[in-house]
Structure formats: C-alpha cells, structure tokens
Chain A
Amino acid sequence: AQSVTQLGSHVSVSEGALVLLRCNYSSSVPPYLFWYVQYPNQGLQLLLKYTSAATLVKGINGFEAEFKKSETSFHLTKPSAHMSDAAEYFCAVVRSQGNLIFGKGTKLSVKP
C-alpha cells in the first residue's frame, strides 16, 4: 500500500534562507508523487509532480523536489525563502486506484 510521511509539522526559516520540507514515501510500485501548497483559507494548488520522467522536478514559485529511490524520499526545497511562501505544504502519492494519499502537512513560517 502506498503512503507518505512528512517529517516536521512546523518548519520556521528566516527570509532568504533555504527551505527544506521532508517527505518520505512507501510504495510497492514506482510511485507518482506530488507536492501541493495551501495558503490560508484557500484550497490546495499543485506545486510540482514527479512522474518518473526526471528525478529533479521544478515547480512554481522557485520550488523544486528531487526523487531519490534509494532513500524513498521526495523532499521539497527552495534556495531562498520569501515571506509569501508562508503556507502549509502537502506531499501526496498516487494510489493504484488513481486517488491521492496526502501526508499530514508541514506548516512553513518565514521570519523577516
């Protein structure tokens, strides 16, 4: 069965610092993985997705994620945090039936 684990429910960084949000997956088949972002009082929107075409995936707003099979990880990074990046981030894996299994989410705070 597929699942994802997000390490750290809250992450705080200073503006301009590196953002690293961790996601580990469990899947018996090659996984399809997604990162979504949720801004306050809004729905989720897609940041990026991994579909086996390339291990380094670039998304919107300067975010990227690297698929590492040996570590079963799909961590999300951004070189320099901006105040507008403050939000909750969700990692998700596609189930064999086609729906998504979401992690618990990580709230990112950005300090000025």
Chain B
Amino acid sequence: DAGVIQSPRHEVTEMGQEVTLRCKPISGHNSLFWYRQTMMRGLELLIYFNNNVPIDDSGMPEDRFSAKMPNASFSTLKIQPSEPRDSAVYFCASSPSWGVSGGPYEQFFGPGTRLTVL
C-alpha cells in the first residue's frame, strides 16, 4: 500500500496567489482529514470528510480556505488568496469510517506539504 499521498511536498508562493494542495487517501478509507501544523499553534484540524461529505469545517480559519472531496480517492485544500501567515505544514490523513465494527481506527498521515508564502 502506498499510504496517503500528498502533493506537492513543498510549495513556495507569493502573497495573493492561489495555492492548491492535493491528497490521495488510502484505498478503502472513507474518512479524510486536513490538518495544519505550526510552531505557534501546533497541530490543528481544519476539516474532515466522511464518505466525501464535509462533516466538520469549524477549523477552517477563514473564507480564504476551502476544501473539496469530489470522489473517494482525491481531495484538495485551496487557499485563495494566500497570506504569509498561512505558511505551515499541511497534513492529510485518512482512516476507515467511524462506527465501523472494530473502531475507532487510527488515522494514517501523509508526509505533508510545507507551504511558504512570501
């Protein structure tokens, strides 16, 4: 199994530009999570999906952030326009659905995307 795949691994952009981060979850996992990690705030949950439906987006910092999951094998996190304070490592994680017999299941994390906004 390839694990959770994220692209790009590194992104450097200028303030005001649109940034799109991509995630491919582990096949068969129905829950997908987007996190942001910074030195100041640690690991924050931004949004999570279950069966491609957003369940909780209360962690999305503002309207500049949006996330989609058009199908079970792909999700995007978009920042438009980007700002220097968005610089962070963004992680995607996936897990089997909550409520499935034998849960709760661990979340499997991708390697992250390191975003730098100049």
Q: Give B54-97 as 1s and 0s: 1 = Cβ < 8 Å from A's Cβ atoms.
A: 01100000000000000000000000000000000001010001
Q: Total number of A-B contacts with CB less than 8 angstroms? A: 50
Of A32, A100, A103, the residue contacting B107 (CB under 8 A) is A100
Cα distance, A86 to B83, chains bound together (Å): 33
A96 smallest CB distance to B (angstroms) = 9
| Chain A residue contacts of B48, Cβ below 8 A | 99
A51 at the interface (CB under 8 A from B): yes
| Chain B residue contacts of A105, Cβ below 8 A | 42-43
In the complex with contacts A32-B104, A45-B109, A98-B50 CB distance below 8 A: yes
Binding site for A on B (CB under 8 A): 4, 31, 33, 42-43, 45, 48, 50, 55-56, 91, 93, 97-99, 103-104, 106-112
Given A97-B55, A105-B43, 10 new contacts (CB under 8 A) = A36-B109, A43-B91, A43-B93, A44-B91, A98-B99, A99-B45, A99-B55, A100-B33, A101-B45, A102-B43
